[in-house]
Structure 1
Amino acid sequence: MNTTKTHNYLIVFGTPLLLILSVILISRDLLFETNSNALSIGITLDLLFTIPFFYFLLIRKKNIPKTTVIPFFVLGIWVASYSIPKEHQFLLNWIKTWVFPLVEIGVVIFVFHKVRQTLKQYKATTKDKQDFFTALKQTCFDILPKRIATFLAMELAVFYYGFIVWKKRVLKENEFSYHKNSGTISLLVAFIFIIGVETYVIHILLLKWSTIAAWVASVLSMYSSLQIFGFLKSILKRPICIEKQQIQLRYGILSETTININEIESIEITTKDLEFNTETRKLSPLGELESHNILITLKTENTLFGLYGTQKKYKKIAFYIDQKEKFKTTLETLCL
């Protein structure tokens, strides 16, 4: 069974890759030098359209996301950029300028459409509203390869929480905030301010050496500030909640973990210093920069998910809750 599955995957992914390799070899052949113009057009069309379409035909009846055609399209652009001489890349440049941006926009629209469908379907079968980031990750994993899905979900979430959702989040029963008294928001705002000041200073200094380097550094810094702003907003929109005999521990979109209540060994209100290691973790990725007032110890090991799908194991997890007494009482009642 596994051998058959492996063989199928080798055909599905190996055949297009062999075709790409053959196109690369053609671009290195002596025949290419005598027919550069015509072959450049043919190679461009093969790499960007023919091979991705052939791959689509291979997967159309298989349980493989159809959107995996996009990576082959992007791979085709990359291969064509290095295989075709610069002077014969007129068609490739046209596609990069006009077609590729449309593909990018199409992917984003498609993902948000699927997220909207997922949220509607969830709402139709339950009285609660599903968390947007959870729905976004689920949708991306359904339509894209895991690595690409993880990256895209995080980038779209930063944009969504940072610039689309502005309505104040009203906490429901068994939902708990963790930012009002912890100083987290002030800390992240300070980070944005510091990055802004450093960006200006570094930009001025780099201008004396290279204009391009100065603007590259500035754009990267501004992008970092936008990401932090998205992280900050997500903390306001994603409370910690207790539902269906589970605790959804969240720190915005930066980290999260789900704890089954029957797996809890103890719940402790504490602000004492802890030694964080492979067994004891902190929910907040800010570590010692942020305080904690709750420590949960589990009977068995669990997983903490961080930025871009990173994973850490733990048996004890520390975090901050604004209403710590109410949180502890609620959990203790459910544990009985």
Structure 2
Amino acid sequence: MNYYLLHELFTIKAQSHLLLYSKIKEKKGWVVMVQIVKTHPKSFYGGVLFIAALLLSNFFIQKMEVTGQVPPILVLATVLDVMIILPVVLFLFVLRRKATLSLLAPLWLLGAGFVHWIVPAYAKEHLQYMNVSIILVEAGFILLELFLLVIFIKNLKTWRNNFKASKHTIPHLLSRISIANQQTFGGYPKLERLIGVIATDVSAIRYVFFPHLDDKLAGEHTFSYHKNSEYFGVFLMFVHAMLIEIIAVHVMLMQYSHTIAWIATLLDFYALVFLIADYQAIRKSPVVIQNNHLHFQKGLRFHMTVPLEKVADVRRYEGEALPGERDSFTLMLAGLEKVPPQFEIRLSEAVEGYRVFGFKRKVMKIFLTVDEPERFLQTLIEARPVSKKDI
């Protein structure tokens, strides 16, 4: 689960349980948790019970003061429980997946807010080291981004030339940025990876504050997938809820820690910008069949380019529920009701796609729904002939 997913969970559930279920189930974290409940029930429930016991015990000791006045050693123990032991148990026994910074950062932020809430006012002076640590971590990230920005500026001319050169062969913004990064920083894989992380932030800012730089793709070989969906209504609900949440969370956290409150507000604002940019990217990035390639970009969440010769099979999807396969990519938008995709595309070999912040993923199957399914199918058949018995 990422920070954006946690926001959906806590702010939207009172408005529409069905909407929340449809939205969250698309997320990888939810799919992972559904699989965990089915395949590892003992470790899952054991981990959940341990985390609940850990939080409750610290709540009673700190907030309720059931053991009397809280000494400094218990404050330190609470910080260790919430900031270290809880994440370890969560990832090893509940989620059963590798911890990543994109997951740990919001988890630590929530943990810091919880600690500030339960620790008595007279003992908060013992939390100064934690506040300083948070500020140092934030400063470290800012310095890292400044360092990468300096490197990027030094190579800006080369990068810009590579970016412009790919315009005629790569229609989508994120894919063009990835190609330019590879061509410019390909000799330094770690640097390319870090630049890829910043590319998502830059794309979000570009889509929201400079929308005129990217025209909406159109033509007989482009196929939108958002017009006939219910996602616009979902999008408006999320924006409305997040605007309310930004104010409410800031006011609530300000009572306990100004530092935590402003950090949470900045993250909330970033999540809002990301949400708006994601919808802008959805509008401006239809499915494109061009130059013997099939191009996909699902908002800011995922993008990939598939050579048509690697398309082994194209068929109409006949199942009722979408299978949660790890090597698949789903180009569908959440709505009030859960609906199956229109088509299933199987590849002859795995093709690499890119998730948020440049994380890579191998794809063998593509499930998608477009606004003009018959025209899409006919165009794809003409671009790469397939057997009619597979349709």
Give the TM-score band, short-chain normalised: 0.5 to 0.7
Count of aligned pairs:
236
Written as runs of structure 1 = structure 2, the 5 A alignment for 1:1-336 is 113-122=157-166, 130-141=171-182, 142-143=184-185, 145-166=191-212, 168-270=215-317, 272-283=320-331, 291=339, 292-336=341-385
Q: Secondary structure at the match of 1:276?
A: coil
Q: Is the 8 A contact 1:154 1:308 kept in 2?
A: yes
Bigger CA drift: 224-233 or 101-110?
Answer: 101-110
In 2, the alpha carbon distance for the partners of 1:324 and 1:296 equals: 13
In 2, the alpha carbon distance for the partners of 1:297 and 1:149 equals: 31
Q: Is the 8 A contact 2:302 2:356 kept in 1?
A: yes
The TM-score normalised by the length of structure 2 is: 0.52
Q: Tell which structure's C-alpha radius of gyration is larger.
A: 1
Distance 1:304 1:103, change over 3 A: closer
Q: Is the 8 A contact 2:234 2:334 kept in 1?
A: no
Structure 2: gaps spanning 5 or more residues: 1-139, 386-391
Q: Is the 8 A contact 1:119 1:129 kept in 2?
A: no
* Offset at residue 207 of structure 1 (A): 2.3
Q: Secondary structure at the match of 2:236?
A: helix
Structure 1: gaps spanning 5 or more residues: 1-95
Matched letter for residue 277 of structure 2: G
Matched letter for residue 224 of structure 1: A
* Offset at residue 242 of structure 1 (A): 0.6
The TM-score normalised by the length of structure 1 is: 0.60
Cα-to-partner distance string for 1:82-124 (whole Å, 9 max, x where unaligned): xxxxxxxxxxxxxx9xx9998777566566654542344446x
In 1, the alpha carbon distance for the partners of 2:328 and 2:192 equals: 28
Q: Secondary structure at the match of 2:303?
A: strand
In 2, the alpha carbon distance for the partners of 1:186 and 1:311 equals: 30
In 2, the alpha carbon distance for the partners of 1:302 and 1:138 equals: 15
Q: Secondary structure at the match of 2:295?
A: strand
Q: Secondary structure at the match of 2:305?
A: strand
In 2, the alpha carbon distance for the partners of 1:115 and 1:160 equals: 17
What residue in structure 2 maps to residue 39 of structure 1?
Answer: none
Cα-to-partner distance string for 1:208-253 (whole Å, 9 max, x where unaligned): 2223322221121111111111222111222210112211122123
Give RMSD over aligned pairs.
Answer: 3.3
Distance 1:158 1:114, change over 3 A: farther
In 1, the alpha carbon distance for the partners of 2:309 and 2:285 equals: 23
Q: Is the 8 A contact 1:264 1:296 kept in 2?
A: yes
